[in-house]
Amino acid sequence: MIISKNAFKDWILFFAFVLVFPFTVFLGLYYPNVILEQGLSHRIFYFHVPVAWAALYAPIFASIFGILFLYKKDLKYDTLSYSMSKLALFFAVLVIYSGRTWAKSAWGVPWDWSDARLQSFFMLFINLISYLVVRSLIQDINKKAKVSSILAIASSINSVITWEAIRLIDNPGNHPSSVLGKGGMDPDMRITFWISVIAYHILFLVLFLIIYRYDKTKEYVERLKSNS
């Protein structure tokens, strides 16, 4: 039996996910010491931050695909941008709900409207929802792809602003400073954190491949129906 290169890569990715992801979840729950001020809720950190990173990367990738569509006029790039934008919204929802849980324990309130990063991330969340709503209202395929590309670029700009919010604003609010800043983390926290980053990026890639292949198949079927 001959196995295609793509299928072989899929199996490697699948086994990497099965091996790494469950281990990472248990690692974050039981291995690192907790911060006394936050108690066990601190363990949300090993989920919240890697997921937040992915939620901020995704709009940038979506905008790159959108720019490629505007340049090459190939609908393949529109589909890639669309799939990536949906994945960005999914991860953004995870960020908001995990962040609310963590904030309730750390700050005493589930949301701080004075926090610069929370406000900018909320705007990114609204942008991603707007992208999907506006896209669903446009029937013409080429016009839909063009408008979607512009909206994807706008979301990526918001993503960069969100990433830099705690660095650019003098009084960013309650949100912690960058985990990559000086001072760092204890060794047990650092190990757990970077393993979590790898695991959730594998999850990100797995979900993207699933969503993209679904959208690609759906688009192909719709084209066949329109031509019949």
C-alpha 92/C-alpha 122 separation (Å) is: 9
Taking only the tens place, the pLDDT of each residue in 59-110 is 999 999 999 999 999 999 999 999 999 999 999 999 988 887 777 776 676 6
Taking only the tens place, the pLDDT of each residue in 193-212 is 899 999 999 999 999 999 99
Q: Is the dihedral of CA 49, 51, 54, 56 positive or negative?
A: negative
Residue 17 confidence (pLDDT) = 80
Residues 116, 107 contacting (CB under 8 angstroms): no
C-alpha 192/C-alpha 201 separation (Å) is: 14
